Structure 1
Amino acid sequence: MAVHSSHPVSAPPAAPPRERTSHILLRGWCILLLVITLSGTALPLAFGIEVAAGIGIVSFLVSVVLWVTIRPRVQWRRLPWYALAYLAFAVLSLLWSHWPDATLATVALLIVTTVGALFVGAVLTWREVVRALASALKWMLALSVLFELWVSFVWNGPILPHFVRPDGPVDDPIVLWSRDNLLDGGRIQGVFGNANALAYVALLAIVVFAIRIASRAPRRPVLGLWILLAVYLFVRAGSATATVSAVAVVVVLITVLVMRTTTRAGERTRYYLVYAIVAVGGLLAVWALRDRVFSALGRSSDLTGRESIWEKVLERAVEHPVIGWGFSTPWIPTEPAFDRWIVDHGQTVMQAHNMWVDVFLQLGAVGVVLITAAYVAFVWRSWFFAVDRPRWDLVADRPYTAVTLLPTLTGAILLVQGLAESTPLLNWGWFLLILFAFKIKQAPLVGRGPSEERLIGEQGDRPTER
């Protein structure tokens, strides 16, 4: 006979645990940091270099104060040491720099970016990092669309930096913040004032949103709409190098998924050999047929004048081949050594349009070795982070997580971009390199370890996603 008891075995019903307001605000700050980093040239074009620098300094100070206050768990022995060694050598170049003012300014920018990336990686879990990055990318895509709509329907014409209307036809449209091409089918530049920058941010957004969908995040149909917007902006930006990066992302993704299907020892070795042969053959074919390839993409075979820029940079770089001329990423156009040194479309060039050539100019062979070590270490760890099953005990068949794809796909974007741009050395390129390299070493397993213990608020991303 059932007997009613006043002492039930189960716990009384209670509301599910909720995130603390302080942590919601912390994640909001991390999103703002990512927006500032992703904005790139948008802030200087809108408000000037002084205001942009002030925002960077404030973000740095706030992040340091929050770090000291929160004191997140960090394994200090497991830092991205090669990348930090590159940063240290850049700071050390102040001792021999031929442009010390430019070195001081750009090293400060590099330090601010590095500290911001380490802060985000220290206070957020893997799934929170992806969520925050997705939110920041939504802001940048939305602002780019709204800006182009405002230029077309309210401003009614091209616009110069700092919201200045041209007096008449400009000598070269490269000086324009927006060319008002939204309705005429031309290349659009978004808030970045640069079509290539818009294309790369849109490509990164496609990758992040797709990973969120694969993670079974909430509101997946809305994420699908964001992907469509990112694809639209990617196409309208019309960047040839970003198109090559997109191809690289697809190839890397397919390779990772194939590697995940292996079940026996030695299977991956065969795949690695096949892919190595295909990759080398593909690169040689693209280079041999570059006239046709880049013509099909609407670009010249010398990558729109980049080869001539590389030649001039290398001519100067070999004069100081070991330790370089001194760090300056980007090149400060007001610095006499850079002012009118290399001119493209009437404007002083601010980068070598190849991160390896740029590093060789600034930090010589030592710098090239350090940045190579940083990228090799990052690519190596991110690759096995993606292809290895999560395992911390005898269970060997746990499902893969989609989140682990993000670092290696981001690495593919940055490496291809670095062949024609120097931007992986600053802003969001450097930020994500530090963030993911640091996070992989701190938390090599998603949801496991001291830095991953906080899972409240991540309930929309199920930990068993494939």
Structure 2
Amino acid sequence: MNTSATTFEAGSTTAQPTLFLPALIGFFFSFRVFSVVLTVRVLQQDPQVGVAISLGVNFLLLLLVVFQTFGPAPRTLRSLLRLPGLFWVLFFLGFSGCSLIWSVADSLPAAAAFWGGMASDWAMVILLLRSGSISEVSSSLMKGIVYGACCVALVAWILPAQSDLRLGDEDFLGPNAIGYACGFAMFFAEYLILVRREKGPWKFSLVFLGITLLRSLSKTTIIAFIASGITLLLLDKSISRKTKVIVVLSLIVIFILFSSLLVSYFSDYTDTDTGDQAESLSGRLGIWAYILNEAVDKPLIGHGFHSVWHVIPPFYSSHFEARHAHNELLQQFYAYGAVGVVMLIGLYGSFYRQIKKLPASPLKAMLFGLLVFILIRGLADTEAFDLSLPLWAITLFSTLMSEAMLSPSQLDSSDATLPVSNLPLQTLSPS
């Protein structure tokens, strides 16, 4: 038996070679938020063309992954699917797919295509993890995500500001999407810096993405990231006190520079006189009340996948069309009823329990920070199809945590390889 096929790195902190396909997929995961904007503003095509291009690239990448990973592999899909939390991932994928049968979506073919895109994301990640070095695949995927988010941030700065001076496009890309893309990618940069100890532009990327997140004025995402940052600084003992002081002082300076914008927008957000605006606090309350009223009509299995867009009528004088419920728990209840609530609790509860079992380490601190970020962000925003913490990301981090649990001493600084016979991911594929 080939020894290299029966070992993988546990907690390796040496620089990992960047694999092209995982990095490309990671870049796509981040940058696709701009697909419609670029198609309309640059190519002068309809928005539907941008959506079709994004889905087409998604399925093309899946085909490339299937082609590359076909054949013998260091581990089987069955061994990966036995990882903690993967039951809930599969349950969510299966139930959301079945909900297309009773979905009230404006276009069932479009809903099926979007579900296929979500499933494709997950399939690409798990196939890559099955066939390659977990350290190399995960690091390459994360690097692609960070690079993609930096490109998102760069384009966001180049685009003309919206009428309210926030980043984004008035018609096709809100500042919340930009803020989330930047905020989410920052956790992958943190992983590369704190856990893998990789050298490269990751610290610069972290600063650039952080400033862009603040400039986006995506209020919930900013608050969520601040809370996650506090969690990380409190839990990660590997960060020196001097570094923590520098980080805090730098944040204070940046907030002072943006203080006038922040005060203005938070004032508008809480102003009851702006209740006809979807971005105000009272405006969000109106959206939540309406969708909750609709959700209780189908309390058991909900309205199905992709059942908000062009189904829920426009809100307020601005004719704001919601793509989702702007609250993760409410979104799952509306789409999948009580089953959706159970799935959400199962997914995040399983993820929390897996983090809690980790020994004290930068990985544990970073993942606790990520969970705090996701939960707070979910109070006032969510995703139209996937969860705020995507299914592919849950699978990726579950794999990394299972790897880390095998050798807790390797989480901080050293390299090691472990025999496959000791691993839950050990079985060689017979085909």
TM-score of the aligned structures, taking structure 1 as reference length:
0.65
Structure scoring higher RCO (CA < 8 A, sep ≥ 6) equals: 2
Q: What is the correspondence of 1:200-219 to structure 2 with a 5 Å cutoff? A: 200-215=180-195, 217-219=197-199
Q: 1:416 — aligned with what?
A: 376
Match of 1:373 among 346, 358, 371: 346
Check conservation: 2:65, 2:124, Cα contact below 8 A: yes
* Displacement of 1:253: 1.7
Check conservation: 2:182, 2:209, Cα contact below 8 A: yes
1:94 to 1:433, Cα distance in 2 relative to 1, 3 A: same
Q: 1:348 — aligned with what?
A: 321
* Displacement of 1:210: 3.8
Check conservation: 2:300, 2:337, Cα contact below 8 A: yes
1:102 to 1:319, Cα distance in 2 relative to 1, 3 A: farther
- Aligned mates of 2:123, 2:166 — CA distance in 1: 35
Moved more, 29-38 or 417-426: 417-426
Check conservation: 2:378, 2:388, Cα contact below 8 A: no
Q: Runs of 5+ in structure 2 lacking a partner?
A: 1-15, 40-49, 240-262, 272-279, 423-431
Q: 1:138 — aligned with what?
A: 147
Q: 1:179 — aligned with what?
A: 162
Q: 2:367 — aligned with what?
A: 407
Q: 1:8 — aligned with what?
A: none
* Displacement of 1:243: 1.8
Match of 2:231 among 252, 260, 263: 252
Paired letter, 1:84: L
Number of residue pairs matched by the alignment: 350
Point out the structure with max Rg over C-alpha.
1
Where 2:236 maps in the other structure, the secondary structure is helix
Q: 1:237 — aligned with what?
A: 216
Where 2:103 maps in the other structure, the secondary structure is coil
Q: 2:30 — aligned with what?
A: 38
Paired letter, 1:129: S
Where 1:41 maps in the other structure, the secondary structure is helix
* Displacement of 1:421: 1.2
Q: 2:246 — aligned with what?
A: none
Where 1:38 maps in the other structure, the secondary structure is helix
Q: What is the correspondence of 1:233-312 to structure 2 with a 5 Å cutoff? A: 233-257=212-236, 296=266, 299-300=269-270, 303=281, 305-312=283-290
Instruction: Tell me whether 1:315 sits opposite 2:293 in the alignment.
Output: yes
User: Quick one: percent identity of the two aligned structures?
Assistant: 19
Match of 2:333 among 353, 357, 360: 360
1:309 to 1:69, Cα distance in 2 relative to 1, 3 A: same
Instruction: Tell me whether 1:93 sits opposite 2:95 in the alignment.
Output: no
1:428 to 1:314, Cα distance in 2 relative to 1, 3 A: closer
- Aligned mates of 1:239, 1:315 — CA distance in 2: 27
TM-score of the aligned structures, taking structure 2 as reference length:
0.70
1:257 to 1:406, Cα distance in 2 relative to 1, 3 A: closer
1:30 to 1:370, Cα distance in 2 relative to 1, 3 A: same
Q: 1:68 — aligned with what?
A: 70
* Displacement of 1:309: 0.7
Check conservation: 1:356, 1:418, Cα contact below 8 A: yes
Q: Deviations over 1:37-95 (max 9, x none)?
A: 12242113323111111111111222222232463414143261112111111112233
1:438 to 1:303, Cα distance in 2 relative to 1, 3 A: farther
Moved more, 109-118 or 91-100: 91-100
Question: For the aligned residues, what is the CA RMSD?
Answer: 3.6
- Aligned mates of 2:142, 2:193 — CA distance in 1: 14
Where 2:305 maps in the other structure, the secondary structure is coil
Q: Deviations over 1:218-250 (max 9, x none)?
A: 546x43322321222122111210121122212
- Aligned mates of 1:205, 1:94 — CA distance in 2: 31
Check conservation: 2:315, 2:321, Cα contact below 8 A: yes
Paired letter, 1:187: R
* Displacement of 1:371: 1.8
Q: Deviations over 1:167-188 (max 9, x none)?
A: xxxxxxxxxxx6399xxxx322
1:111 to 1:189, Cα distance in 2 relative to 1, 3 A: same
Check conservation: 2:26, 2:143, Cα contact below 8 A: no
Paired letter, 1:354: N
Q: Deviations over 1:98-154 (max 9, x none)?
A: 3344542332122112212323443342465245313431232135315633x4xxx
Q: What is the correspondence of 1:11-160 to structure 2 with a 5 Å cutoff? A: 27-47=19-39, 48-69=50-71, 71-74=73-76, 75=79, 76-78=81-83, 80-99=86-105, 100-122=108-130, 123-126=132-135, 128-146=137-155, 148-149=157-158, 151=159, 158=160
Check conservation: 2:325, 2:331, Cα contact below 8 A: yes
- Aligned mates of 2:388, 2:25 — CA distance in 1: 10
Q: 1:155 — aligned with what?
A: none
